[in-house]
Amino acid sequence: MKMLGQVCSSDEKGDEAESLHVRMKTTPLIAFLICSASFLGVQGAFAEETAPEGFEIATLAEGLSEPIAIAQTPDGRFFIAERGGAVRIIENGVVQESVFATVEVYTSGEGGLLGLAIDPDFQSTGYVYLFATVSPDEQQIIRLTDDDGLGANPTVIRANLPTTGTVHNGGGIRIGPDEKLYFSIGDNGRSENSQQLTSLAGKLCRINLDGTVPSDNPLTTPTGATSAIYAMGFRNPFRFCFSPTGSLYVGDVGSSGDQRREEINLVEPAQNFGWPEVEGQFDENEFPQYVNPIVVYHDEGSAISGCSYYAGEQFPSEYRNNLFHIDFTSQTIYRVIFDADVAMEHTLFAQLDGGPVDLMTALDGSLIYTELFTGRVQRISFKFSSGNDEMSIDDQPVDSGTGDGQSTDSVPRPALCGAGLFGAIIAISPLFLGLRANRTPKRVRCRRKA
């Protein structure tokens, strides 16, 4: 595997003893998002959410404040990160009155409590991991311990993560099948960061569950220590997800204008995905040092968000081993259909509403997503059997699919990027996922893959 050289010691682990920041700054961003949503019809009268025939969208829980990230524990509870800093628990469809924990966060720009993950040995450790913007110039990874529904022993396991207090903070956090903790940080609105090995901005990182750097990470610092950087060349990798076998898919939010491309990247150690030199598909003969995304789109939306590789048993067989992902601006879920590791089709699965942002597969095999604007957590379940009778999840056959995919003819296609009211909003101000580039770096213009 090609090594990308050395990174300086500024990448080394932050001070674990540093206490949690307690600064919190209010911002007009929330008001702007709500006004934007209202302008688009997200607030007030909500549009009908539609899924393919045989699937049902229902509310799992509501009454949350900007639920931006979700994870489920082995006992079936859902932990929800609210952007304002609170962590809530949903148990048996009810948001628990007691708040699990509150982290005081810096919410200006795209900051806040941005990500959440559950320890793979949660039943023994009770560990919950958070990704938070804690000041205009720092983000942290914080570990809490579940003590009968309350977060105890807050510990900063990774400090001094970069931010400019504005845009492209990233905030994805997941634990891989290798039981290492992965997190993503955007370029902080400074595209040159993505190609600089002296910064964690524009990178996907990999650390141990205690915050130290694994000895088998692919890069080293000038002092000979291993680096946290696992892959680089991203603009704003807000969310990513794993398959059960360890394939790592990173969604990278695109820039602006005709050259913008939303990307899904299949990531391996030490790879460089080329931002800001390239965006979308490019000629690998011209740029052999960079790796092409496996999926690129433009018309279907303009802010790729939460994703989940479906390995559940509830959906018909043609949906297994598909990658589902949200686009925040078109308010949709798409599915990527694979042949081995080759992405063969990128197709609309469901039309949503309310600002969908994070996505996961629940223990029962349903898809769960959070809505930033409505404060709801929604569930997509498969209910249909042959004939006109509905069956419960427990009664459904393992394979009730047709083999050619579920029809999405009844699902309205999203509007073209840049058209209508949302295009005007994008032109006026950057939204939560960093829809506009702050500069115009050199790019390769390319066609969307058919």
**CA gap 193, 195 in Å, rounded:** 5
The two structure tokens encoding residue 238: 């807000």
Three-class DSSP category at 287: coil
Residue spans per domain, the chain? 9-428
Kindly report the number of other CB atoms within 10 A of residue 26's CB atom: 10
pLDDT above 50 for 394: no
Residue with tokens 């989940």: 308
Of residues 422 and 371, the one with the higher pLDDT is 371
Q: Exposed/middle/buried for 104, CB within 10 Å: 0-12, 13-18, 19+? A: middle
Once rounded to an integer, what is the mean pLDDT over residues 29-35?
Answer: 37
Q: Are 138 and 132 in contact (CB under 8 A)?
A: no
The two structure tokens encoding residue 237: 């990798």
Once rounded to an integer, what is the mean pLDDT over residues 205-218?
Answer: 98
Among 205-209, 325-329, 347-351, 421-425, the range scoring the smallest mean pLDDT is: 421-425
Once rounded to an integer, what is the mean pLDDT over residues 5-33?
Answer: 35
pLDDT tens-digit readout, 117-148? 999 999 999 999 999 999 999 999 999 999 99
pLDDT above 50 for 357: yes
**CA gap 130, 273 in Å, rounded:** 26
Model pLDDT, residue 174? 98
Three-class DSSP category at 6: strand
Q: Name residues whose C-beta falls within 8 Å of residue 62's C-beta, 6 or more positions apart in sequence.
A: 95, 374, 375, 376, 377
Among 43-52, 290-299, 399-408, the range scoring the smallest mean pLDDT is: 399-408
9-428: CATH topology: Neuraminidase (2.120.10)
Three-class DSSP category at 192: helix
**CA gap 277, 406 in Å, rounded:** 38
pLDDT tens-digit readout, 67-121? 999 999 999 999 999 999 999 999 999 999 999 999 999 999 999 999 999 999 9
Among 257-266, 328-337, 417-426, the range scoring the smallest mean pLDDT is: 417-426
Mean pLDDT computed over every residue of the chain: 82
Three-class DSSP category at 195: helix
